[in-house]
Structure 1
Amino acid sequence: MGCFDAVREKTDKLVLVSGTPKFIKDETFPHGLSKALFRNLERKIQADLDSGLRFFYDLVGINFSARFKKDEILESLDRLKKEDLRPLLPKIDVPVLLIHGDKDRICSVEASKYMAEVIPDARLVVFKGVGHAPFIEQPEKFKKIVEEFLAC
């Protein structure tokens, strides 16, 4: 979401999928990933990239393989640990479609419910029985919802 400021003039609508404005749960944001689970993921990736990624993919609920560089993943995890985009949400001044699976084990659907309340012109669609990747798990439904949103 940090790129939104850079493209604000060129953005008419925004689609956020399985997102969260703050990745880690704390006393100010109960909808994030637990610190213990995040530390476990971080440790697994530091110790062995392949087993760490398998652990992550198990959380996501999909099975695919890809090649990643360990330092890039650890850098991304560090950014997720520190970043809090909640102050930006009320400033979003375009229509927003939030799509989230109710079985997402990475980013809680409660995070999207929170964003739907805070973003001025937001609409939330929750996919039942779907995890972190609704575009993979229910691609036709996902495509239809996004196309309808972009067309109106």
Structure 2
Amino acid sequence: MARFDLGGFALYYEELGQGRPVVFLHGVCMSGRFFHRQLPYFSAGYRALAPDLRAHGRSTQVPSGHTLPTYARDLRAFLERLALDEVVLVGWSMGCLVIWEYVRQFGTARLAATVLVEQSPSDFKWPDWPLGAFDLAGLTEAMEQLQTDRDAFAHEFISLMFKDPPAEVDRRWMFDEITRPHESIAGAILFDQTLRDYRPVLGSLAVPSLVIMGRDEKLVPVAAGEHLVRHLPDARLLVFEGSGHCPFLEEPDRFNEEVDRFIRSLP
């Protein structure tokens, strides 16, 4: 585990192993701890890293900068500070949005490939995009509950993420991670990330991509992954039949093996 200063606040990250860098990017209100089944596995052949994004997890609770463009600039600083090149970025949920925003701002010069787990190019249900997670009424309700009953919000979020209910011991540590960001921080980034639309960016992701979706559609429909594969320059889709929003936790052995196989197939 390590930290470095990023413009007045500490960014926390876990790092294991040596070799090609594989960077795991977590979802909104989550943390790198969600990849505890991945880092030991990938450390056997890669340099596996999992940062806690700004004010998430064990990073400093800095009150400002909670937009995807800022998170993407933080990611660029992270890659540059650690001199990471030919990187495989593994994004889960909001982590995918951070990747697409990174590509929008900085291109793909440092990237070798991406793994995109359980994310639509937009979480909002636009008139021409029915595959988002929220319409305006749903987003308003979620924002209100986050501010008035964050514990209930966290527990409902956990239930939605899994095809089958997680064990109580897992629910407890997930709840602890989700409730680390202050409510004002969580609300700011939830609102920002929901109203972004990265459909126009997909064609610029000119590196190989593996798209992974869970068959259970409580949060993200498989059709969103099918859209990604149709619009990314070089992508293929894997659907995990026994998973919902967290195939890396629900089917970790298959997830690790498939991602490892994908990385080994790269030039």
Pairwise CA distance, 1:120? 1.4
Pairwise CA distance, 1:26? 2.3
Q: Which has the higher contact order (CA 8 A, sep 6+)?
A: 1
Q: 1-side partners of 2:218 and 2:238: how far apart? A: 17
Structure 1 or 2, whichever has the larger Rg, is 2
Instruction: Please tell me whether residue 38 in structure 1 is matched to residue 135 in structure 2.
Output: no
Pairwise CA distance, 1:111? 1.0
TM-score (norm 2): 0.54
Instruction: Please tell me whether residue 10 in structure 1 is matched to residue 110 in structure 2.
Output: yes
Higher normalized strand content (fraction of residues):
2
User: Larger deviation: 58-67 or 11-20?
Assistant: 58-67
Q: 1-side partners of 2:160 and 2:143: how far apart? A: 13
Identical counterparts, % of pairs: 28
Measured against aligned partners, the alpha-carbon deviations of 1:97-134 in whole angstroms (never above 9, x if no partner) come to 00010103222221111111110111000001310000
Structure-to-structure mapping, 1:3-152, within 5 angstroms: 3-4=102-103, 5-6=105-106, 8-35=108-135, 36-61=137-162, 62=166, 63=171, 64-66=174-176, 67-152=180-265
Q: 2-side partners of 1:133 and 1:18: how far apart? A: 8
| Alpha-carbon distance change, 7 to 139 in structure 1, aligned in 2, over 3 angstroms | farther
Task: Please give the secondary structure, in 2, of the residue aligned with 1:120.
Answer: coil
Pairwise CA distance, 1:24? 1.2
Q: Which runs of 5+ in 2 are unaligned?
A: 1-99
Alpha-carbon RMSD: 1.5
- Partner letter of residue 110 of structure 1? A
Higher normalized helix content (fraction of residues):
1
Pairwise CA distance, 1:7? 6.1
Task: Please give the secondary structure, in 1, of the residue aligned with 2:242.
Answer: coil
Q: Which runs of 5+ in 1 are unaligned?
A: none
